[in-house]
Amino acid sequence: MSPMENAERGLCSRAVGSLTPERKHASLSEKLRLLEAIITTPIYTSIGYASGQVVYTSTVEGAVDLWALDLGSGCSRRLTEGGVHLVAPTRHESPYVIYTQDVSKGRELQQVYAVNIKNSDSFALEGFEPRRILGLGFDGKSVALAAAGDGVELWLLSLGGGAEKLHSVASMMYVTDFNDGVIVGQGVLKGNPRSFEVFMYDLGTGEFEVYTPREGAVNKRPVTRGGRVLFATNAFGKDELVLYDRRSEELQKVEFSGSDLREYDPTEYLDFGWTSEGVVWAIGKRDGRSKLFLDGKILPLPDGLVYGADFVGSKAYVTHSSLTSPPKICEVDLSGGYRVILGGELREEILRLIGRSYMVRIRSFDGLEIPTFVVESNASPKPGPSVVYVHGGPWSEVADRWDMFIASLAALGYHVIAPNFRGSTGYGEEFRVMDIGDPGGGDLEDVAKAAEWAVNHGLASKIAVMGYSYGGFMTFLSTVKKPHIFDAGVAGAGVADWEEMYELSDAFFRQFIDILFNGKRELWKDRSAINFAEELRAPLCIIHPQNDSRTPFKPVLRYVWKLMELGKTFELHVVPEAGHAITNLENAIKLLMPAVIFLEKYLGR
Ligand code: 4NP
């Protein structure tokens, strides 16, 4: 090669060097700046009303903390620091708010606290060793909760001191309400993995009663007042609200004077209860959106997901969000209209980057329709880099609700395809139970079909699969079982080996796994990516909280070791002192930032 040619090559490479890498770098740092802006957009979620104040959680100070807004003065005050885990429904007449905090660096061993919203004084409830807590109820004086122990235990903790274990079951169970001496909740209490029964624990008699209007029915979210229990059931066909009278043992369907709820024809009920006047309110949901009803009459709110209402006099306080609008708190006037009292929109520059969102029904391999949310990116052409986002749960869903992962991906230039694969909630019980006995089977085919749809419809050029928790499991499994579909995978808090996962799980999650697999432990091997590591072709970005106690890190580390030995392309990011639940923004950034850098490299235009 002549010096001239060398010089030319040098010049040429300098020219390339001075443009391409710098431009790429600039675009990546721009993406990271946008990511930070999205993650730090404050989120507001209403908990309820107590002593003249609206109690809510907000991330405005960097963690999901409790706050109280004084409706008289309009001033807000922070009640906790460092993030809360669970919060019990408030009592209108009590100044105390009950919440739990993780005291185990993310292992989800939770201590129970009470805070007085009048003076912000807080104290731990005595006599209870920190545990995984599965639902809280508060009657104004005592706290009822379910906690993982030898089995799942029912506990009563008094604000004045003293804790008592009331009952224990060898099944999955949650507390949903506590009032007038009765603790209620739901669980898989008759050994049928496809049903949920209501339980009622009477503090007067010490009796633990399991109730269902029909064997095999799914009964959800009981609330109780004055000897009556209000819950949703599919005992008579589709989900509807019923009232059970404990004294007469009679069950009746709730009758409403308005017809809006009946006409809306909800697939399920997200939340419901009584106003202080004893009128039933409900949040009905269908196709990923929900509406608020009082006595069957609709109370207008914007499209999206409405959840967690509390009715006080002539007002109701609810949370609203959508795929493009972060959660905010609305005050609804019962005579018509609403106003946002806490919360804001995304910055204009970010909103412009997120494209249109819509639902498509994708036909799967067996003809089943998979309701799938698509959020396009305005920062990319079509076809362009795309991500199939797999939600967690698996008994959960992607709805027209704020999702930090989806909003970030769309703003950063990825079209997002989020399938509600079989087993997702929100589309009826028949659809919800379709993954029982077959996790990582039919649902994995649905995810593969969603990717195929995105390519065939001119949306996706390159395509990645990404998910957290059950979505991380599906990412691991799809990249080895369907190695030619995805160009890259991002697995957050995933499951790579069910066998070791089971060994490391507590009583609650062992129940969960047995229910999910319907006891078919012989399937564990086939549904664990660790046994198919040779098949992996796509680069994999693995992100895991160090102290995750729901999807433990150890089996994932063993999978990583296998990938190492096989010479596969992967990266591993561990979020130190973090657990499964993301309760602060620092950890959210630590989870998402590696994903963004990875996707830029392997899916970049
Ligand atoms: P999730 O986590 O997706 O965040 O709800 C899970 C944790 C455990 C299991 C599934 C999902 N499990 O089967 O044990």
Question: CA 383 to CA 415: how far, in whole Å?
Answer: 9
Determine whether the shortest distance from the Cβ of 392 to ligand 1 is under 6 A: yes
pLDDT in tens, 546-599: 999 999 999 999 999 999 999 999 999 999 999 999 999 999 999 999 999 999
pLDDT interval class at 605 (50, 70, 90): low
Where would I find the H helices in 241-327?
A: 260-264
Lowest average pLDDT, out of 147-151, 239-243, 450-454, goes to 147-151
Provide the pLDDT for residue 3.
36
pLDDT interval class at 10 (50, 70, 90): very low
Provide the pLDDT for residue 15.
35
pLDDT in tens, 455-496: 999 999 999 999 999 999 999 999 999 999 999 999 999 999
Pairing of strands 384-390, 460-468: parallel
Structure tokens at 215: 């064997």
Nearest ligand 1 atom to the CA of 394 is 3
**How far is the centre of ligand 1, averaged over its atoms, from the C-alpha of 395 (Å)?**
9
Determine which residue's CA is closest to atom 2 belonging to ligand 1.
Answer: 469
CB atoms inside a 10 Å sphere around CB 104: 17
**How far is the centre of ligand 1, averaged over its atoms, from the C-alpha of 472 (Å)?**
10
Provide the pLDDT for residue 115.
98
Nearest ligand 1 atom to the CA of 580 is 4
Residue 157 β-bridge partners: 143, 163
Instruction: Give which of 269, 275, 276, 274 is closest to 292, Cα–Cα.
Output: 269
**How far is the centre of ligand 1, averaged over its atoms, from the C-alpha of 494 (Å)?**
9
Provide the pLDDT for residue 24.
45
Question: CA 89 to CA 183: how far, in whole Å?
Answer: 13
Considering the candidates 65, 271, 400, 548, report the single residue annotated as catalytic. 548
Cβ-proximal residues to 402 (8 Å cutoff; 6+ apart), any chain: 43, 321, 322, 323, 325, 326, 327
What mean pLDDT do residues 394-423 have? 97
Instruction: Give which of 116, 183, 182 is closest to 147, Cα–Cα.
Output: 183
Tell me how far the alpha carbon of residue 72 is from its chain's centroid. 33
Nearest ligand 1 atom to the CA of 396 is 5
Cβ-proximal residues to 549 (8 Å cutoff; 6+ apart), any chain: 106, 107, 108, 132, 506, 579, 580
Determine whether the shortest distance from the Cβ of 507 to ligand 1 is under 6 A: no
Q: What is the pTM of this model?
A: 0.94
Question: CA 328 to CA 267: how far, in whole Å?
Answer: 24
Instruction: Give which of 305, 348, 321 is closest to 59, Cα–Cα.
Output: 321
**How far is the centre of ligand 1, averaged over its atoms, from the C-alpha of 83 (Å)?**
21
Number of H helices, E strands in the chain: 11, 35
Determine whether the shortest distance from the Cβ of 551 to ligand 1 is under 6 A: yes
Cβ-proximal residues to 239 (8 Å cutoff; 6+ apart), any chain: 220, 232, 233, 266, 267, 268, 269, 428, 429
Provide the pLDDT for residue 345.
86
Determine whether the shortest distance from the Cβ of 475 to ligand 1 is under 6 A: no
Instruction: Please answer whether residues 152 and 168 qualify as being in contact, where contact means their C-beta atoms are separated by less than 8 angstroms.
Output: yes
Structure tokens at 419: 């399938």
Determine whether the shortest distance from the Cβ of 393 to ligand 1 is under 6 A: yes
What mean pLDDT do residues 156-183 have? 96
Pairing of strands 76-78, 65-70: antiparallel
Q: Is the pLDDT of residue 19 over 80?
A: no
**How far is the centre of ligand 1, averaged over its atoms, from the C-alpha of 516 (Å)?**
10
The H or E element spanning position 289 is: strand 289-294
What mean pLDDT do residues 150-174 have? 95
How would you label 349-388 residue by residue, b for 16+ Cβ within 10 Å and e otherwise? ebeebbbebebbebebeeebebbbbbbbbebbeebbbbbb
Tokens 């089943």 correspond to 368
Instruction: Please answer whether residues 596 and 32 qualify as being in contact, where contact means their C-beta atoms are separated by less than 8 angstroms.
Output: yes
Q: Establish whether 408 is a catalytic residue.
A: no
Cβ-proximal residues to 170 (8 Å cutoff; 6+ apart), any chain: 151, 152, 507, 511
Determine whether the shortest distance from the Cβ of 469 to ligand 1 is under 6 A: yes
Question: CA 241 to CA 231: how far, in whole Å?
Answer: 6
Calculate what percentage of the chain has a pLDDT beyond 70.
Answer: 96
Q: Is the pLDDT of residue 515 over 70?
A: yes
Question: CA 503 to CA 517: how far, in whole Å?
Answer: 15
Average pLDDT, the chain: 94
Q: Is the dihedral of CA 30, 598, 354, 581 positive or negative?
A: negative
Q: Establish whether 548 is a catalytic residue.
A: yes
Residue 178 β-bridge partners: 183
Instruction: Give which of 110, 108, 106, 131 is closest to 575, Cα–Cα.
Output: 106
Provide the pLDDT for residue 150.
86
- Where does 484-563 show beta strands of DSSP type E? 488-492, 540-545
Determine whether the shortest distance from the Cβ of 510 to ligand 1 is under 6 A: no
Instruction: Please answer whether residues 387 and 599 qualify as being in contact, where contact means their C-beta atoms are separated by less than 8 angstroms.
Output: yes
Considering the candidates 408, 469, 478, 505, report the single residue annotated as catalytic. 469
Pairing of strands 197-202, 315-322: unpaired
Provide the pLDDT for residue 17.
35
Determine whether the shortest distance from the Cβ of 390 to ligand 1 is under 6 A: no
Using alpha carbons, list the distances in angstroms from residue 122 to 79, 119, 185, 354: 8, 9, 27, 41
Q: Is 54 helix (H, G, I), strand (E, B) or coil?
A: strand
Structure tokens at 329: 């708190």
pLDDT in tens, 330-342: 999 999 999 999 9
**How far is the centre of ligand 1, averaged over its atoms, from the C-alpha of 125 (Å)?**
29
Determine which residue's CA is closest to atom 5 belonging to ligand 1.
Answer: 393
Tokens 């995810």 correspond to 447
Q: Is 205 exposed, middle or buried (0-12, 13-18, 19+ CB in 10 A)?
A: exposed
**How far is the centre of ligand 1, averaged over its atoms, from the C-alpha of 402 (Å)?**
20
Q: Establish whether 92 is a catalytic residue.
A: no
